Structure 1
């Protein structure tokens, strides 16, 4: 028996409505699925035993860019504040001897000038970088509470052979001045190199090495990494121009702030400068120009976005190096000294680590 037209119309409408409802429900499920699939990693350490590691990221200007006539004593106020934090571990924006050795073994990928030469240290000690690193590890494992001058000179020579100049300088500074002489593996050439390091306007030496010596730490830890931002493109000149053009957009606020930085950089006390470059407002402007402008910039080849990928890779690997530095010391107090533009990434990513608390730099510098 055929159905009445009214029955067909009513049931067709009901069927269509049901299908639409089912489709909406499926779409809602699909849209919600990615969020539901994410595991919440926050709070996994809420019941941890023992204290958290305290990590202070100090954003710094590059001292090599400061005006002529810069006096290292201008950093004394900053050093006093950092010493009061009492870090157990200090990391710096420098490449490790291990990374330098890796690059030297792959010149096609990394080039020939990736790191400074260690030839004079190799001649003095007879050691290549891997051998020197092994000797350094052995010395530090049995490092006494009160090392003799001879032990410090020997370790300094080994550190130079391991391409760890900042740590070697920290050992040199812990020698009485009368003991800062050749001997125990340090020949005249290496003593001369340490003398050159003493004159360099570099935060790795004038902040990290000096602070390590002041606190009696045996070394600092190199945390920089350029293996991930060694970008290869067909036209490197065009790449550089595209990235520079991206950064040039929207710089009005940063240019104004950089004037303040230059003024503060000329002062006899650089503590106000370090307070300024560690402020959230300044760091936000840096991040916006550095990355947001690059992500917005039109480029058929995507050059600015490629640069951002390299920037993020570099920061990820640096953060991993810092985490490794206190891997076996879960309650350590860690100071990471790095160019201010890196600080927002360091704070964000280190702050996601389990058992890690980020220390407010503004509170330390106040």
Structure 2
């Protein structure tokens, strides 16, 4: 009997191992292989994996972005997506503070000054921005741009407000047409931030003659970790990240940062972050390590679930923008660890053609 139970136990282990090793059911439908061609110009998306400029060393200066901006401008996107939460999503999260209190504090600015100046809440301001853009003149006046900037601020679309601010001559960046002194000071202060949504996306949009950028980040998968689990959860994830791949990425960043002062120093960072091999390096250092993190509470798997959900919803936001105007050429600027997930999920879409960032950055 003991021998029989032992045999059954071993057989069970073998079966479990075989189940884990086999790929399981494979669907026969592959949307990535059914891309048309569509009627008319295809949707093109260039995913630009970016460092967060706020995390670069003090040797970083905005002028170092010029070689990158020149290449992106030459590609001529007609829409730009950024890693920022839309005003509408912040409005939703504010209605569910028990879950999103930390996210609101981190990602959602106080809109009270802009709403007081315009008399518009978030939904009304978003509707007004859409109404204005639907009949936007080819050569808007400075007053129209100031007014649209104020509406964008009330809508929670601060990066789009900055596009309007940058498109104004410096002498016209003043309080009027819905912008008061407080809002002007806010916009001027944001122009000094080390933020890729401003220094790359909004700057490029203004140069290209675009009227806005698209906020496509998503934090609705966020949730507050119970206080009694925060310490254990943080320690488990940090332990998973303590691996040779993370060390190699850190060492590579140190070398790249040391060359920031060179003419193409920052461009070299973007080339490295967008190289094909960067995807698996990020996976092994971060999400792959978290997936096999062994805590009984499955902290690592919780984290991977959040990460995949966030990226799926971000890509859904991008697809929504593309669906509004078929034939769009979009530049999607996002933190470099998101890039492989963006590309993998976008590749599944029938009406999306990916563009190799390496070709554009050459």
Instruction: Tell me the SS of whatever aligns to 1:337.
Output: strand
Unmatched 5+ stretches in structure 1 = 1-30
The answer to whether structure 1 residue 173 and structure 2 residue 153 are counterparts is no
The higher radius of gyration belongs to: 1
d(CA) in 2 for partners of 1:42, 1:187:
49
Deviation at 1:161, TM superposition (A): 0.8
Deviation at 1:104, TM superposition (A): 1.1
Q: Which residue of 1 aligns with 2:52?
A: 62
Number of corresponding residues: 335
Query: Given the superposition, is the C-alpha separation of residues 247 and 33 from structure 1 closer, same or farther in structure 2, using an over 3 Å criterion?
Result: closer
The answer to whether structure 1 residue 45 and structure 2 residue 35 are counterparts is yes
Query: Given the superposition, is the C-alpha separation of residues 176 and 348 from structure 1 closer, same or farther in structure 2, using an over 3 Å criterion?
Result: same
The answer to whether structure 1 residue 300 and structure 2 residue 296 are counterparts is yes
Deviation at 1:256, TM superposition (A): 2.6
TM-score (norm 1): 0.87
Query: Given the superposition, is the C-alpha separation of residues 181 and 312 from structure 1 closer, same or farther in structure 2, using an over 3 Å criterion?
Result: same
Instruction: Tell me the SS of whatever aligns to 2:168.
Output: coil
- Let me know the Cα RMSD of the aligned residues: 1.8
d(CA) in 2 for partners of 1:185, 1:138:
16
Instruction: Tell me the SS of whatever aligns to 1:327.
Output: helix
Q: Which residue of 2 aligns with 1:78?
A: 68
Query: Given the superposition, is the C-alpha separation of residues 342 and 46 from structure 1 closer, same or farther in structure 2, using an over 3 Å criterion?
Result: same
Q: 5 Å matches for 1:172-191?
A: 172-191=165-184
Query: Given the superposition, is the C-alpha separation of residues 282 and 183 from structure 1 closer, same or farther in structure 2, using an over 3 Å criterion?
Result: same
d(CA) in 1 for partners of 2:270, 2:151:
33
The answer to whether structure 1 residue 202 and structure 2 residue 195 are counterparts is yes
1:81-115 C-alpha deviation (Å, 9 max, x unpaired): 01111111100000000011011111112115251
Q: Is the 8 A contact 2:47 2:343 kept in 1?
A: yes
Instruction: Tell me the SS of whatever aligns to 1:91.
Output: strand
d(CA) in 2 for partners of 1:43, 1:279:
24
Instruction: Tell me the SS of whatever aligns to 1:57.
Output: strand
Query: Given the superposition, is the C-alpha separation of residues 238 and 267 from structure 1 closer, same or farther in structure 2, using an over 3 Å criterion?
Result: farther
d(CA) in 1 for partners of 2:320, 2:153:
22
Q: Which residue of 1 aligns with 2:249?
A: 254
Deviation at 1:263, TM superposition (A): 2.1
d(CA) in 2 for partners of 1:220, 1:51:
21
Unmatched 5+ stretches in structure 2 = 1-21
Query: Given the superposition, is the C-alpha separation of residues 214 and 47 from structure 1 closer, same or farther in structure 2, using an over 3 Å criterion?
Result: closer
Query: Given the superposition, is the C-alpha separation of residues 142 and 105 from structure 1 closer, same or farther in structure 2, using an over 3 Å criterion?
Result: same
Q: Which residue of 2 aligns with 1:20?
A: none
Match of 1:98 among 88, 93, 111: 88
Q: Is the 8 A contact 1:276 1:282 kept in 2?
A: yes
d(CA) in 1 for partners of 2:166, 2:247:
43
Instruction: Tell me the SS of whatever aligns to 2:252.
Output: helix
1:270-314 C-alpha deviation (Å, 9 max, x unpaired): 212211111122332112111111112211111011100000000
Q: Which residue of 2 aligns with 1:19?
A: none
Q: Which residue of 2 aligns with 1:147?
A: 140
